[in-house]
Chains A and B, each alone.
Chain A
Amino acid sequence: MDMYAFKQLKRIWNEPVLMAMIILVVVLLIVFVIYPITMVFLKSLQPTGEGFDLKVYKDLFTKKYFRVPFFNSLKLGVSVASVGVLVGYIFAYAITRVNIPGKTFFRTAASFPIISPPFVIALAAILLFGRNGLITHRLLNDRLRFDIYGFWGLLIVETLAYFPTAFMTMEGILQSIDPALEEASLSLKASKWKTFWKVTFPLSMPGILASWLLVFSQSMADFGNPLILSGNYHVLSVAAYLEITGSYRIPYGSGLAILLLIPTLIAFFVQRYWLSRKSYVTVTGKPSAMRILEPAKWVKVLFTLISAFMVGVIFLFYGTVFYGSFTKLWGVNHTFTLDNYRYVFDIGSEYLKDTLFLAAIATPLSGFLGMLTAYLVARKEFPGRRVIEAMSLLTFAVPGTVVGIGYLLAFNQKPLMLTGTALIIILVFVFRHLPVGVQNGVAALYQIDPAIEEASLDLGASSYRTFWKITMPLMMPALFTALFYTFVKSMTAISAVIFVVSGKWQLITVAILGSVENSDLAQAAAYSYVLIGFVVAAMFLLRWVTNIFSYQERIRRARA
């Protein structure tokens, strides 16, 4: 150890509270992030339960049955990423550069798929294009031979589900490109067309690549949509699930999970540690007041139409599910009824209570642990803090299926025998959504001048007191976002928790899956809308709480 690290350690030694916090975070991350993933890997090397060999991987690459899902997932991921990024870019360009009317409306509509339960879109696709689909069956009388189950169905559904991610990333990038650069190009006599290809597009390239990788990972990791929509098109996440819960071949399920993990990990690290350094634009956190060069009329009309079409499709999908939730039997009897909701609040009330209870416990834990980790990583100097950051962000990159299998394997034995308990579900929620807290917290901290905390220390406050009096209040907005996200994602999660749910603790998402499997689509629709209701309620609660507790609001009131 060099002198520098030694001196850092010596300083931390003098602050026992800080030291305890660092140790706490490290231990938690190792036990609940690293250890489960390691277990998946180890299990895949133990086909017989004893000794280590590579038989599983040999089979995975030689047997067609295993090889197909890997290439299917890759093909789907590449397709969804490419189409999603294209659509997202057009959308982002329309909003930041073309000045289409109704920007707020379009932006809000595009965020639906991000916060809604993951398989609502798949459900809508079945309602519209399935065997009893509104469009395929009713409107076209089955004349169109189109099977929604399979590659094309998944491509449509995942594109709709994940293009908003690409849109939001690229909106940020486009906003941070100074319009003066485009004006300069125009004044140097380049046409608008040329300006776009020579200035705007190259500058947004890092953002395009980043969103591509992000959407690619999301598609690879998607579990809910393929589970109900993949038909004969087998993908890795579902294959791994079926290996474990259907065939009980845990080593093979683990092996498939590792195959799923590798490309998503690569995509994540390329995006985070390589691309982020390539970026030309420095995001100052304050997008300057946008000046927009008024584009030609036909350009505006074209972009408005494309955006309206995308949003129209989103509305069609969500509207269909809403409509479906009030029908007796989809495709057969569309009489209006409240029976589905009655069922949800009666038979399904156990699911609702359990889900709410577990999410309500996990949310604050995840939020505070996220803020604490962000604080240590962004503000304290100690050996290995970069490693802590990478560990805390790891679950971002790890598909839920892998996490679920990991928890199943890791906490099924002493000393941490957690299978079947509420605790294991809570732990999945907490650590699965920790990265959002960490990332938002770090971002918020980087915007707070470190001199503010130094000033507090300088004025005689300890590190501990500085954290509670200065840092925490300033991080409130980030904390609220993290809380909201953790709550919503916990309520709507399926891929990881499906491996750890038990008869005793049930979740709404699992109930929805059950309804879909029983072909009771109307009931699934009603469940989905109850879930959406909770998400919307959480959103309003978040806004209300933010209004009360954030200091920016307090200052605004003081001014008035």
Chain B
Amino acid sequence: MAYYVEVKNLVKLFRSHDSRSSVVRAVDGVSFGVREGELVTLLGPSGCGKTTTLRLIGGFEIPTEGDILIDGVRVNDQPPNARPTSMVFQSYALFPHMTVFENIAYGLKNKRLPQDEIKKKVFEVLEMVGLQGLERRYPGQLSGGQQQRVALARAIVMEPKVLLLDEPLSNLDAKLREQMRVELKKLQTRLKITSIYVTHDQLEAMTLSDRVIVMKEGKIVQMDSPERVYRFPANRFVAGFIGKANFLNGKIERLEESACELRLVNGTSLKADLPDKHDFTTGEEVLVVVRPEGITFCDTDKAHVSGRVVSRIYTGSAASFEVETDQGVLTVEISNPLSLRLPSINETVGLCFSRTAVSVVKTE
């Protein structure tokens, strides 16, 4: 299937601020595609080049190298006002001197639509985002959540071919962010707008996206569905960045088609699944990734690893433990803790890993 948005070998160099000669490779050879109607997230820590990539697609930066195609048309030389994209800005960038109505109508006026059609569309989208009755307010008179909705409405009223969202929820408090995340997802599914979403919040990326693109230092490190990114992280960075992870040293004893048998340093062996495509070899030293929620307490003779409990934090819906083992300190998370007898500090415990919580990455 052909991609709707295609980014080919994109490079963006910035002049370094502190010295004249050196350059920063903000985006360093990024290629990916987005299918029509799909929501793809660019995820990574700050400075990984995700926002720059988005701004290149929106036309706010000029690429040093590479091409950007939207619906088969190369848009590199088009200024933002000629591109079929609309952006929701992190700071919302609402026009402070215009009312909500004027803000949303602004783009439609630029398209030279007739007055009554503008009015109709603005009121439609106001209803869609739940802002009926606020059209005469100024942005300064709105709450953060309402401002966010105006920013969103202003972008989607343009019916863009591609909607670009630059950390749109990062200025909201935690509760509101969760609510907006759900609303955003519903809206996007209903309207089926092809969207590229930038965030550093892995939870946001996981809940919203059809596919996640994890970036680091200007490069793509992994591109996959949320489930697979979590289940089969491409390297240690991804495993640690998305969700929590324990790392243990191990060795591949035997390789099957998409699974393997591992031997840990302490001599115990366990089975682990591998992604369809991989380049592990028998006998290779690897890092074994174990998700904390996939560890249970069990008898020490049956356990993969044993150790002593050094800390215990109870949060109501879950409890988390730190266990000191000969493989280092491991984190264990128990959901529904009231149903179990929980070990106390200094107690010696055995830890069993469930197969779905274990994956393998290169040692690097």
The answer to whether A and B come from one shared complex is yes
Residues of A with Cβ closer than 8 Å to B?
3-4, 7-8, 10-11, 14-15, 449, 451-452, 454-463, 465, 469-470, 473-474, 551, 554-555, 558-559
Q: A14-B79, A457-B81, A458-B58 are in contact. Are A451 and B93 (CB under 8 A)?
A: yes
- Binary CB contact string for chain B from 66 to 96 against chain A (1 if under 8 A, 0 otherwise): 0000000000010111010111011111111
> How far apart are the CA atoms of A457 and B85 in the complex, in Å?
11
> How far apart are the CA atoms of A469 and B103 in the complex, in Å?
11
In the complex, whether B138 has a CB less than 8 A from a CB of chain A is yes
Q: When the two chains form the complex, which single residue of A451, A470, A474, A555 contacts B91, counting CB atoms closer than 8 Å?
A: A451
Within 8 Å CB of B158, what residues of A? 459-460
Within 8 Å CB of B111, what residues of A? 460
Q: How many residues from B make CB contacts under 8 Å with A?
A: 36
B95 touches A460 (CB 8 A): no
Measured CB to CB, the closest approach of chain A to B149, in angstroms, equals 15
In the complex, whether B62 has a CB less than 8 A from a CB of chain A is yes
Which of B90, B91, B110 lies at the interface centre, i.e. has the most chain A CB atoms within 10 A of its CB?
A: B110
Within 8 Å CB of A4, what residues of B? 13, 15, 64
In the complex, whether B171 has a CB less than 8 A from a CB of chain A is no
> How far apart are the CA atoms of A8 and B79 in the complex, in Å?
12
Q: When the two chains form the complex, which single residue of B15, B90, B110 contacts A460, counting CB atoms closer than 8 Å?
A: B110
Q: A451-B91, A455-B87 are in contact. Are A460 and B107 (CB under 8 A)?
A: yes
Measured CB to CB, the closest approach of chain B to A459, in angstroms, equals 3
In the complex, whether B97 has a CB less than 8 A from a CB of chain A is yes
Within 8 Å CB of A559, what residues of B? 141
Which of B97, B140, B158 lies at the interface centre, i.e. has the most chain A CB atoms within 10 A of its CB?
A: B97
> How far apart are the CA atoms of A462 and B79 in the complex, in Å?
9
> How far apart are the CA atoms of A144 and B145 in the complex, in Å?
73
Known A-B contacts: A457-B81, A458-B87, A459-B154. Give 20 more (CB < 8 A). Answer: A4-B64, A7-B62, A8-B62, A10-B77, A449-B91, A451-B92, A451-B93, A452-B95, A452-B96, A454-B89, A455-B95, A455-B154, A457-B60, A458-B155, A459-B81, A459-B110, A460-B107, A463-B79, A558-B137, A559-B141
Within 8 Å CB of A554, what residues of B? 97
Residues of B with Cβ closer than 8 Å to A?
13, 15, 58-60, 62, 64, 77, 79-81, 83, 85-87, 89-97, 106-107, 110-111, 136-138, 140-141, 154-155, 158
The interface residues of chain B, by DSSP majority, are classed as loop
Within 8 Å CB of B136, what residues of A? 558
> How far apart are the CA atoms of A551 and B110 in the complex, in Å?
21
Measured CB to CB, the closest approach of chain A to B133, in angstroms, equals 15
A462 touches B81 (CB 8 A): yes
Closest to B87 in A: A458
How many residue pairs bridge A and B at CB < 8 Å? 91
A558 touches B89 (CB 8 A): no
Which of A449, A451, A452, A455 lies at the interface centre, i.e. has the most chain B CB atoms within 10 A of its CB?
A: A455
Closest to A455 in B: B93
B86 touches A451 (CB 8 A): no
A454 touches B90 (CB 8 A): no
Within 8 Å CB of B85, what residues of A? 458
Q: When the two chains form the complex, which single residue of A3, A7, A8, A454 contacts B93, counting CB atoms closer than 8 Å?
A: A454
> How far apart are the CA atoms of A15 and B158 in the complex, in Å?
23
> How far apart are the CA atoms of A470 and B94 in the complex, in Å?
10
A461 touches B95 (CB 8 A): no
Q: When the two chains form the complex, which single residue of B15, B62, B81, B155 contacts A11, counting CB atoms closer than 8 Å?
A: B62
A458 touches B81 (CB 8 A): yes
Within 8 Å CB of A465, what residues of B? 110
B97 touches A454 (CB 8 A): no
A551 touches B154 (CB 8 A): no
Measured CB to CB, the closest approach of chain B to A200, in angstroms, equals 30
Q: When the two chains form the complex, which single residue of B92, B94, B138 contacts A555, counting CB atoms closer than 8 Å?
A: B138
Within 8 Å CB of A558, what residues of B? 136-138, 141
A456 touches B97 (CB 8 A): no
A459 touches B62 (CB 8 A): no
Within 8 Å CB of B62, what residues of A? 7-8, 11
> How far apart are the CA atoms of A460 and B80 in the complex, in Å?
7
Closest to A454 in B: B60
Within 8 Å CB of B106, what residues of A? 456, 459, 461, 469
Within 8 Å CB of A11, what residues of B? 62, 79
Which of B58, B86, B95 lies at the interface centre, i.e. has the most chain A CB atoms within 10 A of its CB?
A: B95
Measured CB to CB, the closest approach of chain A to B125, in angstroms, equals 13
Measured CB to CB, the closest approach of chain B to A415, in angstroms, equals 38
A555 touches B95 (CB 8 A): no
Measured CB to CB, the closest approach of chain A to B363, in angstroms, equals 39
Q: Can you list 25 pairs linking A and B with CB atoms under 8 Å apart?
A: A4-B13, A4-B15, A14-B77, A14-B79, A15-B79, A452-B93, A454-B60, A455-B94, A455-B154, A456-B95, A457-B81, A458-B80, A458-B81, A458-B83, A458-B87, A458-B155, A459-B106, A459-B154, A460-B110, A461-B81, A462-B81, A463-B79, A473-B97, A551-B97, A554-B97
